Amino acid sequence: MNDDRLEICHACGGPLILKRVEKLLRSGVHTAIVEVGAEVCQRCGEQLFSAETVRQFEKIRGKLARQETADFLPLGQSFQVSPVEGQPSS
Ligand SMILES: [Zn+2]
């Protein structure tokens, strides 16, 4: 099968390996964590998802937006923290 997979990272040219990763999806006030297969760059950590995986992300985001979270497993609350002021270290 020859789909849209790349052999090397488009950002840095490093080698890609297939890994399970946790992807954070956010829509409206809801956030979902999805474990998916992705090609991950061993050099810079760039994550590449297949077109099919991206379609699944869009479906999940749509469900979050419509509050259709009945078949999702609750994982506790999410919090938003206001930005922490800090001096850039120079
Ligand atoms: Zn890379």
Domain residue spans of the chain: 16-65
Distance from residue 12's CA to the centre of ligand 1 (Å): 4
Q: What is the pLDDT along the chain (90 residues), one digit of tens a residue?
A: 445 555 899 899 999 999 999 999 999 889 999 999 999 999 999 999 999 999 999 999 999 999 999 999 998 888 889 988 887 876
Expressed in angstroms and rounded, the spacing between residue 49 Cα and the centre of ligand 1 is 14
Distance from chain centroid for Cα 11: 17
Tokens of 88: 């850039």
Q: How far is the CA of 22 from the centre of ligand 1 (A)?
A: 18
Cα of 6 vs centre of ligand 1, distance in Å, is 12
The per-residue pLDDT for 80 is 84
Ligand 1 centroid distance, CA of 64 (Å): 30
Contact present, 72 and 59 (Cβ < 8 Å): no
